[in-house]
């Protein structure tokens, strides 16, 4: 079915995925679990005005970058597309920042809460260490953009900042996120949607087993979304062996790594039934140039 472009609306409901993020945001006020953060070190001069103009052009083009979220008196949720919203850009003189202090400030920016009611939900900050050394920081809330959206923004930014280049027609022509929300709602209300709902209710209607990971300290009484992280790299020989397994089993890398993760959890818990949530994209080809939250977390058991 061909997706019909809808007229730009000032207000429309949230998608089901957005409703989940809104609920989690309100459940733990000020938490930053769904903050998205990226940073780049730029070892050259930085033309601020052309960059700000490019940001504004992109913000003007994509409605999701001008969106705020609100609860109505009856409890229903809606998102409001502002006709114009200045792109958020902050310049910070970091010439006297030590490396440790810069890391501290970037970490603070990463965990700085967003106000979904007032916005903006995407923020750019340039830390200038010297005329030839900068750190560009991008922070956004997941309710407004997914990772594909950020790639779109970065690609358009690159085009706009390339001399003699401009955003071409196929990027200028984007579908509104409201169209996606309407189609999602139509699916849910259709016989197919009711069938899908019945399937997941049967699949998840019983109590799911709790993962009893051994720990050296108790879980906090209230989830704070500040988990730890261990970063490591796989050696070249191990990667080659994993690729051989992928080819032998005719599976993709995601499936292999997910299986290995489940085996890892089994080794530490001894549990045969382990449920893992993983995001899948609901972005169809007609939305390939649109920004928004096109993610659907599903349960794999």
The full set of domain ranges for the chain reads: 11-186, 235-266
- Between residues 28 and 259, which one has the greater pLDDT? 259
- Between residues 104 and 206, which one has the greater pLDDT? 104
27-49 pLDDT per residue, tens: 877 678 899 999 999 999 999 99
Burial of 142 (0-12, 13-18, 19+ CB in 10 A): buried
124 with 55: CB under 8 angstroms? yes
Q: Given a cut of 60, is residue 170 above it in pLDDT?
A: no
Average pLDDT for 265-276 = 91
pLDDT of residue 53: 94
pLDDT of residue 1: 40
* Tokens 């988990």 found at: 227
- Which CATH superfamily is 11-186 part of? Chloramphenicol acetyltransferase-like domain (3.30.559.10)
pLDDT of residue 217: 81
With CA atoms as reference, report the closest residue to 167 among 179, 155, 175, 177.
155
CA separation for the pair 185, 249 (Å, rounded): 38
7: confidence class by pLDDT, cuts 50, 70, 90: very low
CA separation for the pair 189, 283 (Å, rounded): 20
The string over 22-52, giving b where at least 16 C-beta atoms fall within 10 Å of a residue's C-beta and e elsewhere, is bebbeeeeebbebbbbeeeeeeeeeeeeebb
291: confidence class by pLDDT, cuts 50, 70, 90: very high
What would the two tokens of residue 259 be?
A: 């299986």
- Phi, psi at 180, each rounded to 5°: -60, -45
pLDDT of residue 284: 86
Angle at alpha carbon of residue 149, lines to 52 and 111, rounded to 5°: 75
Burial of 158 (0-12, 13-18, 19+ CB in 10 A): exposed
pLDDT of residue 115: 94
**Which residues, listed in sequence order, are joined to residue 232 by a DSSP beta bridge?**
none
- Between residues 3 and 19, which one has the greater pLDDT? 19
- Between residues 220 and 196, which one has the greater pLDDT? 196
**Three-class DSSP category at 66:** helix
168: confidence class by pLDDT, cuts 50, 70, 90: low
229: confidence class by pLDDT, cuts 50, 70, 90: confident
* Tokens 């440790």 found at: 100
Q: Given a cut of 60, is residue 161 above it in pLDDT?
A: yes
Q: What mean pLDDT, rounded, does the chain reach?
A: 89
Angle at alpha carbon of residue 143, lines to 51 and 299, rounded to 5°: 135
Residue partners of 197: CB distance under 8 A and separation at least 6: 188
Q: Given a cut of 70, is residue 172 above it in pLDDT?
A: no
Average pLDDT for 194-209 = 87
- Between residues 217 and 116, which one has the greater pLDDT? 116
What would the two tokens of residue 98 be?
A: 């030590």
């Amino acid at each position: 079915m061909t997706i019909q472009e809808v007229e730009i609306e000032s207000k429309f409901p949230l998608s089901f995925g957005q409703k989940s993020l809104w609920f989690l945001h309100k459940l733990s006020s000020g938490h930053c679990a769904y903050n998205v953060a990226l940073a780049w070190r730029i070892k050259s001069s930085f033309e601020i005005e052309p960059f700000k103009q490019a940001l504004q052009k992109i913000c003007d083009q994509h409605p999701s970058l001008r969106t705020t979220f609100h609860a109505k008196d009856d409890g229903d949720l809606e998102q409001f597309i502002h006709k114009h919203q200045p792109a958020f850009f902050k310049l910070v003189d970091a010439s006297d920042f030590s490396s440790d202090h810069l890391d501290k400030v970037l970490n603070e920016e990463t965990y700085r809460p967003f106000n979904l009611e007032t916005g903006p939900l995407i923020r750019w900050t340039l830390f200038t260490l010297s005329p030839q050394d900068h750190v560009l920081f991008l922070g956004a809330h997941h309710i407004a953009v997914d990772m594909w959206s950020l790639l779109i923004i970065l690609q358009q930014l690159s085009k706009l900042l390339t001399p003699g280049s401009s955003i071409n027609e196929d990027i200028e022509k984007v579908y509104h996120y409201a169209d996606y929300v309407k189609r999602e709602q139509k699916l849910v209300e259709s016989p197919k949607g009711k069938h899908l709902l019945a399937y997941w209710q049967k699949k998840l209607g019983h109590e799911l087993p709790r993962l009893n990971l051994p720990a050296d300290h108790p879980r906090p009484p209230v989830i704070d979304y500040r988990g730890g992280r261990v970063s490591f790299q796989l050696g070249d020989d191990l990667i080659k062996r994993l690729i051989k397994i992928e080819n032998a089993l005719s599976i993709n890398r995601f499936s292999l790594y997910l299986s290995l993760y489940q085996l890892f959890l089994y080794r530490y818990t001894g549990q045969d039934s382990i449920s893992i949530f993983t995001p899948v994209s609901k972005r169809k080809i007609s939305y390939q140039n649109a920004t928004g939250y096109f993610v659907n977390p599903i349960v794999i058991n």
